[in-house]
Amino acid sequence: MSLEPAADPERLYLAVGDDVNDARPIFTGDIFREIEIPGVGTAPAIVIAHPCSIRGREGALQDRIPVAAVAEHQSHPAKNWSSGFYDRMPLPGLPLDGPFHVAKLAMFGLASTNELVGAERVGCLSEPGINQLQQRLVFHLTRLEVPASKFQEAFDHTYEEAELLENWATDLADIDDQPAASFETWIREGSPSRQERLLDHAERAPVRRELRDEVKLRRQAD
Amino acid sequence: MTTMTPSSFTTDETAPSSSVSVPRIDQPTTLSSDVVANAAGALRDDVGALSDNVAALHGESLLIQLEARTDEAAKRAPKDLLDELASLGFSWTGIARLVGVSIPALRKWRNGETPSGDNRRNLAQIVAFVGVLERDHLITDVASWLEVPLAGTNNRALDLFAAGNVGDLLEYAAQKLESTELLDRAIPSWRAELDDQFEVFEAGDGERAIRLRANSPAE
C-alpha cells in the first residue's frame, strides 16, 4: 500500500472559485484566500480539523479551527506524491497565484472562526479529497499509513450531514438567519435521531426526503 | 452383455422440434457406464450453452428496455429530472457521481442552464433506471438500494453504475445475479478488500474511529 497519488482537480474538489456555494457551512478541506494563522503568519489556508471536531454544542462552530498554510509549489507527476512529500498535500488548480499549490501540513495553527466565516473561500475539497487530506495528515504526524477508503467508511456519515446542512442553509437562506442552529435541532430529533440514522446507509435517502419535506413546510409556514 | 455404442441412440424425428432432443433408445439393451456418462455430459453441455445464450439474450433485452425508457425520459426538462431524483432521496453528490459531472454543474442545471447532449442523456438514463427498478423489479426505494454496501465491502451499486456496469446491475435487480457475482463481474479484485488490516469502530466518545484489527498479521 502507498499514499494516494495527486488527484485531478475534477476529483479533488467539490467546487472552486465562483462555484463555491456561499451557503455551505465551513467544513474540513475548505480553502481560504488569506487567513491569519497563529505562529505561521498570514497565508492562504485549508481547514484540517476532523469533521467531528469542527462543531460543538447546538451545531455552533468552535471558536478556533485548525488550519494549515497553503503555498505555491513545484508540480510533480501524480505518482510521486504516493511515496514522498509526506508533509504536503497536493492542491492543483486552485484559483490562487500560480498553477500548483500544496497544504503545508507542518505549518498549522488555530485560526479564528470569525475570520474564517468572513474570509473568501476559494475551494472546497470533495469527499475523496478530504479522505486524501486526512490520509496524508495522519501519515505525516504518526507515520501510520491508513487506506483512504477507510476514512470514507468511517466518516461518510459526516459528509452526508454536511451536504444536508448545505441543502438546508441554501434552501432556507432567505427565511432563516441561523440555519446551522435550526438544522442541528432538526437533525437531532427522533429516537434514534436523524443524525444517528445517517450511520445506516439504508436510512440516508429517507432522511433526505424528510429534509425536503421539512424545508417545504417551513417555506409554506413563512 | 451387449454394449450400446453412441450410434445406437437416435432422435425421434416425429417429435416436436426443440433445441435439445432427448435421445430415444431403439432397442432393449444394457448401456455401459461410460456411454451414459458421455451422453449425459454432452446433454449438460448443450443445456449449459443454451442457458448462457438465454442469459445473454435477457441481459441484452434489459439494456434495450432501458434505452427505450431513456429515450422517453430524455424528452423531459433536465430540471424536472433532477427534481424527481432529489424527491426520491438521491443526494446531489450521488447524482453528480452517477451523471459524471460536478455538483456546481447540477446547481447550474437546476437554475436553468442546459447540459450537454451526453450529460442530458446520462441524467435521463438514471431516471429511466429508477423507473425500471420500481415498475419491473418492485424495488420501492431505489435511492437506498443504490447506496447500500454490497457483500460486506464498501462498494455500492451506485459506484458500479457510475463505472458503467449498468447491464450487470439490471440483472442484479432482476435477481439473476447474487451480489458476489455482481462484484466478480464489475471488480474482479474485490475480495482483496476483505483482507483489510484496519477496521472502523465506535470509540468511547460515541464517534467512529479507525484501528488495526486485533488479529491483523504483523508485517
| Contacts A–B by Cβ distance under 8 A | 73
Residues 6+ apart with CB under 8 A from A213: none
Largest CA distance in chain B: 86
Q: How far is A55 from chain B (nearest CA, A)?
A: 13
Query: What is the pLDDT at residue B15?
Result: 52
User: Which residues on B lie below 8 Å from A209 (Cβ)?
Assistant: 87-89
- The distance of Cα B183 from the centroid of its chain, to the nearest Å, equals 9
- Of residues A162 and B15, more confidence is placed in A162
Q: Average per-residue pLDDT in chain B?
A: 87
| Subunit contact A206:B207, Cβ cutoff 8 A | no
**What residues form DSSP beta bridges with B208?**
B202
- Number of Cβ within 10 Å of residue A51's Cβ equals 20
B183-194: average pLDDT: 90
| Subunit contact A205:B147, Cβ cutoff 8 A | yes
Task: Identify the burial level of B5 via C-beta atoms within 10 angstroms of its C-beta, where 0-12 means exposed, 13-18 middle and 19 or more buried.
Answer: exposed
Cβ-nearest to A14 among B88, B103, B200: B103
Report the C-alpha gap between B66 and B167 in whole angstroms: 9
> Which secondary-structure segment (H or E) carries A35?
strand A30-37
| Subunit contact A204:B198, Cβ cutoff 8 A | no
> Which secondary-structure segment (H or E) carries B201?
strand B198-202
Q: How far is B154 from chain A (nearest CA, A)?
A: 7
State the pLDDT confidence band at B102, using cuts at 50, 70 and 90: very high
Nearest to A14 by CA among B115, B104, B110: B104
ipTM of the complex: 0.89
State the pLDDT confidence band at B2, using cuts at 50, 70 and 90: very low
Query: What is the pLDDT at residue B26?
Result: 65
| Subunit contact A146:B104, Cβ cutoff 8 A | no
State the pLDDT confidence band at B207, using cuts at 50, 70 and 90: confident
- The distance of Cα B12 from the centroid of its chain, to the nearest Å, equals 40
Residues 6+ apart with CB under 8 A from A65: A26, A47, A49, A54, A110, A111, A113, A116
A54-106 pLDDT, tens per residue?
887 777 889 999 999 999 999 999 999 999 999 999 999 999 999 999 999 99
| Subunit contact B91:A152, Cβ cutoff 8 A | no
User: Which residues on B lie below 8 Å from A167 (Cβ)?
Assistant: 92
Whether the per-residue pLDDT at B66 is higher than 50: the answer is yes
B139-155: average pLDDT: 94
Position B107, amino acid: R
3-state secondary structure B133-179: HHHHCCCCCHHHHHHCECCCCCCEHHHHHHCCCHHHHHHHHCCCCCH
Query: What is the pLDDT at residue B33?
Result: 84
- CA-derived radius of gyration, chain B: 26
Q: How far is B209 from chain A (nearest CA, A)?
A: 6
User: Which residues on B lie below 8 Å from A52 (Cβ)?
Assistant: 207
Contact status of B208 with chain A (Cβ, < 8 Å)? yes
Whether the per-residue pLDDT at B219 is higher than 60: the answer is no
State the pLDDT confidence band at B34, using cuts at 50, 70 and 90: confident
Query: What is the pLDDT at residue B8?
Result: 47
Position B29, amino acid: T
State the pLDDT confidence band at B95, using cuts at 50, 70 and 90: very high
Whether the per-residue pLDDT at B22 is higher than 90: the answer is no
Mutual angle of helices A127-142 and A148-171, in 10-degree steps: 130
- Number of Cβ within 10 Å of residue B141's Cβ equals 17
Query: What is the pLDDT at residue A1?
Result: 62
State the pLDDT confidence band at B216, using cuts at 50, 70 and 90: low
Sign of CA dihedral A169, A170, A172, A176: positive
Report the C-alpha gap between A94 and A100 in whole angstroms: 7
Contact status of B163 with chain A (Cβ, < 8 Å)? no
Whether A187 and A179 have beta carbons less than 8 Å apart is answered as no
Report the C-alpha gap between B69 and B73 in whole angstroms: 6
Query: What is the pLDDT at residue B28?
Result: 59
| Subunit contact A204:B89, Cβ cutoff 8 A | yes
**What residues form DSSP beta bridges with A42?**
A36
Q: Find where cell 438514471 sits.
A: B126
Tell me how long chain A is. Answer: 222
Report the C-alpha gap between A65 and B90 in whole angstroms: 31
Whether the per-residue pLDDT at B41 is higher than 90: the answer is yes
Report the C-alpha gap between A14 and A128 in whole angstroms: 9
Asked, as a colleague might, if the bond just before B23 is cis with ω within 30 of 0, I would say no
Q: How far is A84 from chain B (nearest CA, A)?
A: 21
Question: Whole-prediction pTM value?
Answer: 0.85
State the pLDDT confidence band at B3, using cuts at 50, 70 and 90: very low
- Residue numbers of chain A with a pLDDT score lower than 70: 1
Query: What is the pLDDT at residue B192?
Result: 83
